[in-house]
Amino acid sequence: MSNELQRAAYAVLLPAFAGLELDDNVRRYLSRGGVSILLGETRDEYLARNMSFERRRAETSAHFIGIAEQASACAGAPVLVAVDQELGGIQRLHHLVPGMPTAKALKEMTTEDIEARSYEMASSARVMGVNLFLAPVVDVVTGANPWLHNRNLGPDPAEVSRIACAFIRGVQRAGVIATAKHFPGHYQTEHDPAVAQARVPGPLEALEDGLDVFRQVIAAGVQAIMPGPAVFPALDPEHSASTSQKVIGLLRDSLGFDGLIVSDDLDAVSILRDNSIADTAIAALRAGAHLLLVSSEAGLDDIAHAIVDAVETKGLDRNLVLDAAKKVRSMAQASRAQVESGLYVSYPIPGGHLTRRVTR
């Protein structure tokens, strides 16, 4: 087993966990080549679209600063520290950063004001060590969609694009990577993909409004895109968007996106589709994803070993894995470079360091 390949297999994983402590699984993952973590939420918080009272009472900025520094020390390299920080949906950082307006209020704001508010919010997150938002949600929802209820920006593609592009510009100007999700746009799905197999019905023409929004956010410079969890029969009747070569090929080849492609949660029932988590991870890599979102309790070592075995015995392209790992590492290193270039300065405080952006 090549050490380079083994470390690459860990580098393409994005383990999610709900607390602000690195357990032994995650520490081992980071020491073996991992360079990304997702500071997630509990299932109850996800369903409520709100962080619990206990979490909001207990968590401080210092906790985030501490875990970001610990992760980087374990990895011996810059690390991507991700959170869900959606518009009108899940906001993992709760009151620790300036709040964003509701989806309804955003529609009344100018593009400039949305960008300014997004910059302010993301700047505070960057101070805390967070450098990757799994946001914004840009699905143009026109039908039944319980999964994206209270998480989407509405049915008007022009308005979704306007708000999302302003958010992306503000967030990325603050040094945080934005992730537009969920490609190619889940305008309708009757089931929650986390717990049931979900499909987005209709012909290819029905996807055009959603695809146009993705064209707009790509033109705005979004650095990451997340394919979704549902199956799109018009594009690929057998695989979820996150594991479909046809769907990710559309994003990469037809829309010309050359940034980071982050899978949706591979533990979701609609993505697994009765396969193992290891086989699903390999399928996502084959399809063209660079960073694979999994639970930290999904067996990170087993998944990494399965990726290596797939290269050595099952025809998975070695360069595909190495290139995906290189893409992830380069994004993490670019984020660190912003700090070291003088855009940010770091001050010691109890429990960590406080990083502030230098105004020029």
Based on the number of CB atoms within 10 Å of its own CB, is 156 exposed (0-12), middle (13-18) or buried (19 or more)? middle
Please, which pLDDT band fits residue 339 given cuts at 50, 70 and 90? low
Rounded-to-integer distance, Cα 99 and Cα 58, Å? 18
Structure tokens at 152: 């989407």
Indicate if the pLDDT at residue 312 is higher than 60. yes
Higher-scoring residue by pLDDT: 269, 354: 269
Q: How many CB atoms lie within 10 A of CB 47?
A: 12
Q: Give residue-wise pLDDT tens across range 138-147.
A: 999 999 999 9
Q: How far apart are CA 94 and CA 114, in angstroms?
A: 18
What is the pTM for the complete model shown?
A: 0.93
pLDDT value of position 332: 97
End-to-end, the C-alpha distance of the chain in Å comes to 49
- 295 alpha carbon, distance to own chain's centre: 13
User: CA-CA distance, 237 to 149, in Å (whole number)?
Assistant: 25
Q: Which domain holds residue 262?
A: 3-357
Q: What number is the average pLDDT over the span 290-301?
A: 97
Q: Which CATH number fits the domain that encloses residue 155?
A: 3.20.20.300
How many whole angstroms separate alpha carbon 154 and alpha carbon 239?
A: 26
Average of per-residue pLDDT values in the chain: 93
pLDDT of 341 reads 52
Query: Taking 80 as the threshold, does the pLDDT of residue 322 lie above it?
Result: yes
Domain count within the chain: 1
Strands (E), 241-290: 260-261
d(CA 303, CA 169): 35
| Contact between residue 130 and residue 83 where contact means Cβ atoms under 8 Å apart | yes
pLDDT digit string (tens) for 267-286?
999 999 999 999 999 999 99
Residue 236 and residue 25: Cα distance in Å, rounded?
Answer: 35
